[in-house]
Amino acid sequence: MVTLIACTIRDNMMNNIFENFSRQRWKEKELIIILNNDKMKISKWREKASSYANVTIYQLPQEKTLGDCLNFGIEKAKFDIVAKFDDDDYYSPYYLTEAMEVFNNTNAQLVGKGKSFMYFEKEKLLTIRKLGTENKAGKSSLKGGTLIFKKEIYPRIKFPSIKGSGEDSGFVRICKRRNVKIYTTSRYNYVYIRRSNRNFHTFKQSNARLRRRSYIIGRVENFVQYTTKAFGND
């Protein structure tokens, strides 16, 4: 029922991608991983995937943009709901369940996080990003790692092919212009993780600037207990 698409240029994110997928309590799902770095060995990833059900690995030339990779993944998706998973963030067991409750109870076509948690890994600092709405229909901005949408909007709406970054925000802007029905879920069940080296991220703002734009919760060793909220029958 849900196709997860994860695009990556980094072998060291392999375990994180598979853990985020297998952690989900939502049972009806598949994972499409798209390698976007010519130096990556697809055989290594397929070996890992052999231990999981419903996982498919593809590799595209590295000159292809993230937008190209995402659109390729959508075309390969078997299910009617498509979720974009970033390779380096955290998705709780209830992440998909929460989003699917919205699809099942509203007329939303695009769902995501407006407000979300952010964790600065080096400082072990948990924050909440100030901008964005929660549990609300409208034309809110959405965090790029949290986009979940009905496949029916494609190919009328595609991810733009942009070198560098901006595919996520560009996709959301197009959705707003085309009057796609957007709904934000709660701040829970997703954590945007910031590493100390900002070049690790496509979003190049400095960590200091991001902290200024956030509410500080505090220094925590394990953010899971603070950022997880149960949905479904639990």
Digit-coded pLDDT (tens) for 12-66: 999 999 999 999 999 999 999 999 999 999 999 999 999 999 999 999 999 999 9
The residue written with tokens 């070996």 in the block is 47
Residue 195 is predicted with a pLDDT of: 86
* Burial zone of 142 (CB within 10 Å; 0-12 exposed, 13-18 middle, 19+ buried): buried
201 pLDDT tier (thresholds 50, 70, 90): very low
16-20, long-range: CB < 8 A, 24+ apart: 16/87, 16/88, 17/85, 17/87, 18/48, 18/49, 18/52, 18/55, 20/85, 20/89, 20/90, 20/91
pTM value?
A: 0.94
Q: In this structure, is residue 162 part of a structural domain?
A: yes
Classify residue 233: in a domain, yes or no.
no
C-alpha to C-alpha distance for 144 and 98, rounded to whole angstroms: 17
Residue 200, pLDDT > 60, answer no
Helices (H), 106-223: 167-177, 207-212
Nearest C-alpha neighbor of 89 from the set 178, 3, 1, 7: 7
Max CA separation in the chain (angstroms): 44
* Lowest pLDDT segment from 68-82, 86-100, 165-179, 203-217: 203-217
| pLDDT at site 5 | 99
- pLDDT at 203 (0 to 100): 53
Give the pLDDT of residue 60.
99
For residue 224, give the amino acid letter: V
- Phi, psi angles (nearest 5°) of residue 64: -70, 140
Residue 81 included in any domain: yes
In a domain, 215, yes or no: yes
pLDDT at 214 over 60: yes
Mean pLDDT value across residues 162-168 = 87
Residue 92 sits in a domain whose CATH number is 3.90.550.10
Residue 18 maps to a domain: yes
- Residue 234 belongs to some domain of the structure: no
Confidence band for 234, pLDDT divided at 50, 70 and 90 = low
C-alpha–C-alpha distance, residues 217 and 227, integer Å: 11
d(CA 10, CA 37): 8
Per-residue pLDDT, 207: 82
- The owner of tokens 């955290």 is 90
Total domains in the chain come to: 1
Mean pLDDT of the residues in the chain = 94
The residue segments making up the domain with residue 197 are: 2-227
